[in-house]
Structure 1
Amino acid sequence: MRSVRRLTTTIAAALVACAGLAGAAGTAAAASPSPSASAGAGADTAPTEAGTSFRTATPIRMDQRATAGASTGDYLYWVLPVDAGARATVKAKVTLPPPSARHGATTWQLDVYDGLRRRQACRYGAQTKSAAKDAASVELSCSLRTVRGWAEQWANDPLPGSYYIRLTVVDLSQEDLGQPVHAEVEASASDAGGAQAVDGKLSAPLVPGATSATPKPSGSAAAQQPAASDAPDGGWSSGWWSDRWIWTAVGGVLAALAGIGGYRLTRGSGRPAYLPPGA
């Protein structure tokens, strides 16, 4: 019984130590500066214009509100970096002309494309929304799937790299084409954690104009690619780290303790169970 008590005390102490290790790691991760909290991102001036194509998309960063004045019917493009393990949400707001200047309802759409220009599906959010003739504005949102560090060639999984945001009107009266509107776009991201991690990573993030080491001629169209949506603050992780490492280590410690405990419980006291008389 004494050995059982010692074993119980040892396992309890180990469990407390493992819990403290996991808690300390989580606290350290929470205390580390996020891309949105870095001084560099906060010091950047938010863009006040949008591109009109993939090649001229305006670079933005997470938690940065970008604005642009445009005409109804224009295609507005922004581009931002999204790293592995992130669940990004893009929100857009369009301030419409006065109701007296409009001739009917309008329908707006928010699309998100990855670095390969594949349109990404939204897990939830109002990606397409109609605004009545008397509406002052329309708001749209798109929450993407978790960005994976690596995927099979046949899969359409979102991968780390540049993500293009496109905002445009898809249905309106012909008389309303060209009327001035004001657009606002903002993107945010949360960490999905180790539950969404995969064993693999890309050799390079999908950033057009930055994945090739071959220099481009200064006058070429490729050289005019905008800033390749600079890497996130802190660089690209490429999915090599996740909290699965912590729980794998904790599981290994617990398995070792269970093996030691099983051995101590089954080996006995070391003395024979029966002693003959006079022994």
Structure 2
Amino acid sequence: MRTIRMRRTTRGMRTAAGAVTAGVFLLLGGTMSPAVADSSPSASPSDDGSDGGDAPTEAGTSFRTATEIEQGQKATASASTGDYLYWSFPADAGGRPTVKATVKLPDSARSSATWQIDVYDGLRRRQACQYGAQTRVAGADAGSVDLSCTLRTVRAWSEQWANDPLPGTYYVRLTATDLGTADLGVPVNAEIQVDSKHIGGSAAVDGSLAEPLVPGIAMTTEESDEAEGSDDSPTAVLSSLEPDDGWASGWWSDRWVWTAVGGMLAALAGVGGYALTRGSGRPSQVPPGA
């Protein structure tokens, strides 16, 4: 009788384990797709890196006139050495943006200038590059210069004294430094592209900004509240680009998934431990005459 009871207990444990395992796979399959969707760029570039002719072909000359580009777009611009070229792009929480720039120099007038890219956040604070060639010297026989800058992971919230990357508009500045008089005015062609990698729950923090660091968004919010219902309310947003699924799209992280998986495994361990330690539930039969 006890052997039969133990077989039934083992069969019940296998059934419970199968049910919990199936639930874990269903949870992982149904919840990992939003995290994968967050990692996709906001634009859909073609195979050659362009987006079908809609990418910008010029750059701004200051923060206020920075040309807006979406992540995944390859923007181009024609300029001269000595010019300051500015672009802006949106970055949301949980992403790690990478800025890549290529400066093509003409064969007729090449200079040994030092090219540099700098990245600033919505508060115009210069952000340090986690890795990448942020500064490079163009050799006398170089036809192009490749630059890159990978930022730290954008955080949803940070202390006021910290310089952590926060959600909002980011600015890219490309320029040549250490120029001589003879090197000024050399025509060049610049290409720039921004991509972002979604990091996930390892970079999640407990907190979020009330509004992303987009220039003018606070002023627009106040004006819209005061002029609610009117069609002629002014707008003051200096940057119109945002992620496809809106700001603060990084509220989801795989931390939720692993928390649920840990809870299921703990429940399975509790069921298995109880089934192994509770015994047959019946008093042992004493043989007659014992």
Q: TM-score, normalised by structure 1?
A: 0.86
Q: Distance in 2 between matches of 1:136 and 1:121?
A: 28
Aligned 1:126-275 pairs, distance under 5 A = 126-212=133-219, 213-215=221-223, 227-273=238-284, 275=286
Select the residue among 85, 101, 104 that pairs with 2:109: 101
SS in 2 for 1:211: helix
5+ residue gaps, structure 1, are 217-222
Change (3 A) 1:88 1:144: same
Q: CA RMSD in A?
A: 2.8
Equivalent position of 2:119 in the other structure: 112
Code of the aligned partner of 2:19: A
Aligned residues of 2:156 and 2:207 also touching (Cα < 8 A): yes
Aligned 1:79-98 pairs, distance under 5 A = 79-98=88-107
- Answering whether residue 66 of structure 2 is matched by residue 54 of structure 1, we say no
Q: Distance in 2 between matches of 1:269 and 1:224?
A: 75
Per-residue CA deviation, residues 195-245 of structure 1 (Å, 9 max, x unaligned), is 2111211111111111332449xxxxxx99774141111211253211211
Aligned residues of 2:41 and 2:72 also touching (Cα < 8 A): no
Change (3 A) 1:153 1:264: same
Q: Distance in 2 between matches of 1:83 and 1:193?
A: 12
Report how far residue 4 of structure 1 moved.
2.9
Select the residue among 5, 10, 18 that pairs with 1:4: 10
- Answering whether residue 65 of structure 2 is matched by residue 45 of structure 1, we say no
Change (3 A) 1:211 1:275: farther
Large movers: runs of 4+ above 3 Å: 27-34, 41-44, 223-227, 273-279
Q: TM-score, normalised by structure 2?
A: 0.83
Change (3 A) 1:127 1:42: same
Using the aligned pairs only, state the percent identity: 60
Change (3 A) 1:62 1:202: same
Q: Distance in 2 between matches of 1:174 and 1:28?
A: 53
Report how far residue 273 of structure 1 moved.
4.6
